[in-house]
Amino acid sequence: MVPITLFAGFDLVSNMSSDFLPENSIVVGCGSVVLDFLATVAAYPKPDQKIRSTSFKIQGGGNTGNALTCAARLGLKPRIISKVADDTQGKSILDELQADGVDTSFIVVSKEGTSPFTYIIVDNQTKSRTCIHTPGFPPMKPNDLLESSLFAALNGARIAYFDGRLHETAQVVAREAVKKNIPILMDAERLREGLDDIIKVVDYVVCAEQFPQAWTEAATVPKALVSMLLSLPKLKFVIVTLGKDGCIMLERSEVTSTEEMDVDKLLESLEARKNESIYIPTCISSSATKLRAEGIGTICGRLYIGTAENIPLSELIDTTGAGDAFTGAVLYAICANFATEKMLCFAANVAATKCRALGARSGLPYRTDPRLASFMQ
């Protein structure tokens, strides 16, 4: 039987004394930046129904904008490649990113067109959110990004990040990052045009629950993760975020043991070890072993379950951007060389903190936040 280890989020780092602000803290992101119009309602409206909002906020959004804002507040130095228009919304997007310490000098500003924006309805009853997105126009193309700007953006970078959007430009940035041996993390939210051309060169993937099976056509999530590591030889790990149910992660590893485990059964054994009474994020992991996915193949790896914080309903405000907060924390953890167990607990804490405020960015913590003290000391 493969050994299983349980790590509690705060206990894991309680004896740490060094500061984990990375020496090389430059992260370059290419993807979506938008302006969010957030309205909270008592309950989601029925067709033809007229209702009033209980609160309203205008705030920056977009996967890349959110993830890099999170990274900036944690102490990294993000640079962002994207496109907005020279309009009121575009100015708001740039001003907010700059105020959070994100370098916007590589964002292309079009003299014509409109900046991207999203209407978000937050249901106070179910704590869910519905998004209606309007893309910016004209869309970003590779010739919008000067070669000199591309080189300057990647100069000295520790890691590159892509959210699957602006795929033509992202491919150009990814190819140059590979040439410079800059590792790449991709946020794979769903199947998108051009995604396959980028994902084949990435080192890390953080994805939504539906993505692994949609991309691999495997019968289960664990089988899909094995399939991803077999299909993408450069991939070091893949994390599947599950909202309030935490996350599942498969990490590639070297194994000397001849023991072989069915990956679905191993996940079941990890799930059985979860302690629902523990409110802080925890991490449960197997040892490194040969993982078999029936009909797909075998990979040497280590399987993890990360639990989410059990947030009291009185404190849970809005889940918008929780996945981006998680990803921003993973970017920080990679730059700071966190152990895998610590990374998953840290990212869960950051995401939970974000959920205590309206919008994707209002609740994003700074590295001095007391909730993160045990990770940062």
> 134-159 pLDDT, tens per residue?
999 999 999 999 999 999 999 999 99
Confidence of residue 11 (pLDDT cuts 50, 70, 90): very low
pLDDT of residue 9: 58
pLDDT of residue 82: 98
> 76-115 pLDDT, tens per residue?
999 999 999 999 999 999 999 999 999 999 999 999 999 9
pLDDT of residue 20: 61
Average pLDDT of the segment spanning 329-352? 97
Task: Tell the residue number behind the tokens 């999203």, with chain if given.
Answer: 118
Spans of all domains in the chain: 4-41+56-376
Identify the weakest region by mean pLDDT among 5-9, 25-29, 136-140, 299-303: 5-9
Average pLDDT of the segment spanning 113-134? 94
Fold of 4-41+56-376: UDP-N-acetylmuramoyl-L-alanine:D-glutamate ligase (3.40.1190)
Amino acid residing at 144: D
Report the C-alpha gap between 204 and 187 in whole angstroms.
9
Percentage of the chain with pLDDT > 70? 94
Amino acid residing at 358: L
> 160-210 pLDDT, tens per residue?
999 999 999 999 999 999 999 999 999 999 999 999 999 999 999 999 999
* Ordered strands of the 117-123 beta sheet: 55-61, 34-41, 117-123, 128-134
pLDDT of residue 4: 54
pLDDT of residue 13: 38
Confidence of residue 255 (pLDDT cuts 50, 70, 90): confident
Mean pLDDT over the full length of the chain: 93
Phi and psi angles of residue 279, each rounded to the nearest 5 degrees, phi first: -90, -25
Q: pTM here?
A: 0.94
Confidence of residue 24 (pLDDT cuts 50, 70, 90): confident
Judge whether 183 and 203 are in contact, CB under 8 Å.
Answer: yes
| β-bridge pairing 77-85 and 26-30 | parallel
Judge whether 184 and 177 are in contact, CB under 8 Å.
Answer: yes
Using alpha carbons, select from 290, 287, 181 the residue that is nearest to residue 234: 181
Confidence of residue 258 (pLDDT cuts 50, 70, 90): confident
